[in-house]
Amino acid sequence: MGFQLLSNLKREPWRAGIRLAAGGAVLVAMAFGAVGAGSTVLGQMAVPTRRPEQDATTTRKSAASSASSSKDTRKEADGSQPSSQVAKEKPPLDPKAGRDWVRLEKDPRGEVIGMQTAVVRYGQAQPAATKAAGVQVDLIGAVHIGDQAYYKKLNQLFEQYDVLLYELVAPEGTVVEKGRGTSNANPVGAMQNLAKNVLELDHQLTEIDYTKPNFVHADMSPEDFMKAMKDRNESFLQMYFRLVGHAMAQQSELAGKGGSPDLDILSALFASDRPRRLKIVFAGQLSEMESMMVSFGGENGSVIITDRNKKALEVLKKQIESGKKKIGIFYGAGHLNDMDQRLRNEFHLRPESISWLTAWDLRPR
């Protein structure tokens, strides 16, 4: 449905708009990143090239260069400090840190001018006398199609970490070749490619440089993923209908508040600045996705969130045990509420700062 829906936007905007209004929230969740790298679990695989063993620390930049890059990357922070500075007294932390991962940026008149994703830094709640002492973990929310400038900032940010853990359902040893993009051979990959073209955005797998030696795969293999789905008696169809159910409830709630996503989408389709107007509608839906994805996390959640998060944090534990101190985890925003709880409960880490990066610049041109 999603492939035909997006491909019809330019040819038959009225008919495509009706279908988009009916399934827009589900499309947003699957194509833009609320459920993580969804296209990978539906068949998109990277080239299975083995990465030569390299020590990530040997390729890190000088301290001065790293500090400069960090300062530039985190300049959009709301009250957080650049990573190169350590405050003796930390300011009160935004209570939404670890709870909100996607938000709308508005100007003084209340007009939406951007969609932003969070970077939340975690540190030890209590001094530790173990290898975990001094460990800093950043959860970095991702959307899979965004502005080129967004991915450029992320590439700069990733350079500061001893190790950067990333999501990709793929065999162990898989390397994502630089600029490879995503395939149209599976439905979600096709939706993402069409969405980025219609909305004039770029794709994460094209713009993020996964060949950096500090990048470490922290996700399930296709075999493990399918086995876990079988063990949970789950299917992709079940996941889709769960998303549909939550999307319908979300639209009903919006309607109760006087909102009308259907009319917003139809209006955007006939606007002179169609890509921007559509992005504003989708950004509003993405910013509400955290509540939609709650049931997919937790011990009784799902393979797509719960089991993949467990795998990522198994890799985190190994990296901490190996002595890594400055660690980033780059995962779809829909994963991070569950991951936040696991960092608190299993690793005894607490949020220390939050910063925001603009994924979609929605200012009028």
pLDDT, tens only, 175-188: 788 887 777 676 66
Provide the 10 A C-beta neighbour count for residue 222.
Answer: 14
Q: Which residues of 84-99 are buried (b: 16+ CB within 10 A; e: fewer)?
A: eeeeeeeeebbeebbe
Residue ranges covered by each domain of the chain: 2-47+62-361
C-alpha closest to that of 304 among 191, 210, 224:
224
- Token representation of residue 42: 């539906």
217 three-class SS: strand
Indicate whether 359 pLDDT > 80: yes
Gap between the Cα atoms of 161 and 158, Å rounded: 6
CB 210 within 8 A of CB 243: no
Mean pLDDT of 331-339: 92
**Radius of gyration (Cα) for the chain, nearest Å?**
20
Gap between the Cα atoms of 202 and 195, Å rounded: 9
191 three-class SS: helix
pLDDT of residue 71: 43
**Which DSSP string corresponds to 82-111?**
PTT---SSPPPPPTTTTT--EEEEE-TTS-
DSSP label at residue 293: H
Gap between the Cα atoms of 54 and 213, Å rounded: 6
Residues across the chain: 365
pLDDT of residue 217: 96
Mean pLDDT of 225-252: 77
261: left (phi over 0), alpha (psi -120 to 50) or beta: alpha
Indicate whether 129 pLDDT > 70: no
Beta strand pairing call for 112-124 and 102-106: antiparallel
pLDDT of residue 2: 41
Mean pLDDT of 127-153: 87
Higher pLDDT, 172 or 328: 328
C-alpha closest to that of 206 among 165, 170, 155:
155
Gap between the Cα atoms of 21 and 6, Å rounded: 12
**Predicted confidence band of residue 51 (pLDDT cuts 50, 70, 90):** very low
This model's pTM is above 0.95: no
C-alpha closest to that of 182 among 41, 44, 304, 330:
44
Provide the 10 A C-beta neighbour count for residue 172.
Answer: 11
- Token representation of residue 314: 């198994």
Higher pLDDT, 261 or 150: 150
- Token representation of residue 205: 């797998």
pLDDT of residue 260: 61
